[in-house]
Amino acid sequence: MLFAQTGNVYTVITDENGLFQIDSIEEGGFVANVTTSEGDIGSAHASVVQKRPSNSVTIYVEQPGNASISGRVYVDGQTPGEDVMVFVEFPELSKEYATSIQPDGFYRFDNLSATGTFILSGLQASNGALGIEAHYIPDSTLEAEVDLYLDSPTKVNPEFLNPNFENGLDGWTHSENVKLVPTEDYFGD
């Protein structure tokens, strides 16, 4: 598992049922890459956050293919740091892959078993910059080189700065008297 914001890597070997567990890991988004003893590969992405300090990740593995996608990621026209995750989805084939970028902004997906139309997207965890591209891997070359441009949000809605009402109703628009009730009091634990 590679954590995009810090670059920290956690390695583990699965048990005989293909299950693994890593305790006491950091918060943030991560990419989990798998290689089986038979050479099958797979990847998935997820996150661990304070309010949800554990996560279950299902990783589908497949025989490696010969296709590749590579390029460089730019945030607001600049080469970003390491905290960008890049995702590729082949919607017609229901296949998804994930990786993180190198310090120089480059990303690469190798051994893909899919060709055709794909959607490439990127997310910078530290500031919410987002970008998306649609492209195509031709069967004739099995390669696509696509630069991905992420744009940082220019306006953050105030309610996103106070999503759990820690600061009362700051940032929220309301027209009547509002009483904040903790979720546990209403729904129970």
pLDDT tens figures, 127-175: 888 999 999 999 999 999 999 999 988 766 665 666 667 777 776 776 7
Ramachandran quadrant class, 135 (left: phi over 0; alpha: psi -120 to 50; beta: rest): beta
Does residue 12 carry a pLDDT above 80?
A: yes
Of 86, 100, 3, 85, the C-alpha closest to 48 is 3
> Residue 71 pairs with which residues in a beta bridge?
107
Does residue 39 carry a pLDDT above 90?
A: no
Tokens representing residue 144 in the block: 């696509």
Query: Average pLDDT over the chain, rounded to whole?
Result: 83
> Residue 8 pairs with which residues in a beta bridge?
none
Angle at 135 between CA 130 and CA 140, to 5 degrees: 150
Comparison of pLDDT for 46 and 69, the residue scoring more: 69
Tokens representing residue 143 in the block: 């390669």
pLDDT confidence bin for 86, thresholds 50/70/90: very high
Estimate the share of the chain in helix, then strand, then coil, as percent rounded to the nearest 5: 5, 40, 55
Comparison of pLDDT for 156 and 45, the residue scoring more: 45
Does residue 53 carry a pLDDT above 60?
A: yes
Which pLDDT score is estimated for 134? Answer: 95
Phi and psi at 160, nearest 5°, equal: -75, -20
> Residue 32 pairs with which residues in a beta bridge?
44
Instruction: Yes or no: say if 149 and 74 are a contact pair by the CB < 8 Å rule.
Output: yes
Alpha-carbon span 100 to 114, nearest angstrom: 19
Identify the structural domains of the chain with CATH numbers, from first to last.
2-150 (2.60.40.10), 156-189 (no CATH)
DSSP letter for 8, please. Answer: -
> Residue 52 pairs with which residues in a beta bridge?
49
Q: What percent of the chain has pLDDT over 90?
A: 28
Alpha-carbon span 188 to 56, nearest angstrom: 24
Mean pLDDT of 21-25: 84
Alpha-carbon span 61 to 41, nearest angstrom: 5
